[in-house]
Structure formats: structure tokens, C-alpha cells
Amino acid sequence: SQTIHQWPATLVQPVGSPLSLECTVEGTSNPNLYWYRQAAGRGLQLLFYSVGIGQISSEVPQNLSASRPQDRQFILSSKKLLLSDSGFYLCAWSERLAMGQYFGPGTRLTVT
């Protein structure tokens, strides 16, 4: 069976510090991978998606970036965090683009 992992589960970072969130998927090959952000009281916002190694599509302009160094690894990064980057970050995978997605447990990021 497939499983998706995210870490860390929670993170508190000062403004201007770097960020690296990691997501890995097990039990499947060549998954489509997604990063979402969920701000307090808001819906899910798609940030990035990837259909393969090294292939990243950005949905919204921001100071975040994503990378996919391995088939089942997806990383969300920032060089300098902003207060507005606080939120709940969810990684998801699907067999095909825009198919039903399976979500990871999420990372709660608080930028202070």
C-alpha cells in the first residue's frame, strides 16, 4: 500500500530564516506530487505540482520554491520566510495529474 510522509510536523521559524519541508511517498512509482498551503480559515491553495523528477510547475507567484530530486521526494523551500508564509502545508500525491489525491499529515509552520 502507498503511504505519504511529511516532516517536520510542526515548525516555528523567525522571519527571514530559510525553510525546507520534505515529503516522501512509498509504495508507488512516478507519482504526481503536490504542495498545498492552507491558511487559517481558508481553503487549500495549490502551490506547486510535479509530474516527474526535476519537473516543477508553480501555480502562484511567491517566495517559495519546490524541488523534486528523486522520484518520490518533494521538497518545499524558501530562502527568506515572510510572516505571510505561516500556515498548514500539505503534500499530496496522485497517480495521474488532477486525479483524486492522497494527502500527507501536514506541517504546521509558524513564522514569528
Partner 1 sequence: KNQVEQSPQSLIILEGKNCTLQCNYTVSPFSNLRWYKQDTGRGPVSLTIMTFSENTKSNGRYTATLDADTKQSSLHITASQLSDSASYICVVKGGATNKLIFGTGTLLAVQP
- The footprint of partner 1 (CB under 8 A) covers 4, 41-46, 88, 90, 92, 98, 100-106, 108
**Grid cell 502551490 — which residue?**
47
CA distance 96 to 28: 12
Residue 7, C-alpha cell as written in the block: 516532516
Residue of 83, 93, 87 whose CA lies nearest to 107: 87
Phi-psi bin for 37: left (phi > 0), alpha (psi -120 to 50), beta? Answer: beta
- Shortest spacing between CB 80 and partner 1, in angstroms: 26
- Report the SS3 class of residue 86: coil
Which is closer to partner 1, CB of 62 or CB of 88?
A: 88
**Shortest separation between residue 100's beta carbon and partner 1, angstroms:** 6
If the CB atoms of residues 16 and 105 are measured against partner 1, the closer one turns out to be 105
- For residue 74 the three cell numbers come to 518533494
Q: How far is the CB of 72 from partner 1 (least distance, A)?
A: 17
What is the nearest approach in angstroms of partner 1 to the Cβ of residue 87? 12
62 vs 103 by CB, closer to partner 1: 103
Residue number, 15 or 60, with CB nearest to partner 1: 60
